[in-house]
Amino acid sequence: MKTTENNKCRKCNGIGKPSKGYVNFHNIRTMYKEDEFETKLLNCLKCEKCGNSWIPETDTNKINKRLEYLRQELEAERISYGELAELQSLADHIDKNDVQLLEAAGVPENLNNKND
């Protein structure tokens, strides 16, 4: 696999291989009797060397458009679980100053499973 910016590990510059990772999402809606944490299997890249995993950047414009759409849904208070999960999966792409989206995304510390 050729090395591109998209599959280069940010930690060690190793090469990320396509993988699937379990990500724990914190359910922010508690009105439903659902588990507090939801685990989803996402496509990701996993570093061969250090095991760091991340969601590859695809089309940044597309992601930004998607984030704006999700923001609208959030503001209209009609965002669905699926969309929230999507927002969480895009947390890396949210601007650091965008508190609104970051809070909604729950900002997982990283994509590796770590128990609180």
Question: Binding of Zn ion at residue 14 (CB under 5 A)?
Answer: yes
Whose structure tokens read 């940010």? 10
Q: Which is nearer to Zn ion, 34 or 51 (CB)?
A: 51
Question: Binding of Zn ion at residue 9 (CB under 5 A)?
Answer: yes
Binding residue for Zn ion (CB under 5 A) from 23, 44, 45, 47?
Answer: 47
45 vs 51: CA distance, rounded Å: 9
Give the helix ranges, DSSP H, for the chain.
Answer: 60-75, 81-89, 99-105
Question: Binding of Zn ion at residue 49 (CB under 5 A)?
Answer: yes
**13, 18, 105 from 82: Cα distances, Å:** 32, 22, 12
Question: Binding of Zn ion at residue 7 (CB under 5 A)?
Answer: no
Question: Binding of Zn ion at residue 74 (CB under 5 A)?
Answer: no
Binding residue for Zn ion (CB under 5 A) from 36, 43, 50, 75?
Answer: 50
Give the number of other CB atoms < 10 A from CB of residue 32. 8
Q: Which is nearer to Zn ion, 50 or 99 (CB)?
A: 50
Question: Binding of Zn ion at residue 53 (CB under 5 A)?
Answer: no
Contact status, residue 68 vs residue 58, Cβ threshold 8 Å = no
Residues at the site binding Zn ion, with contacts judged by CB under 5 A? 9, 11-12, 14, 47, 49-50, 52
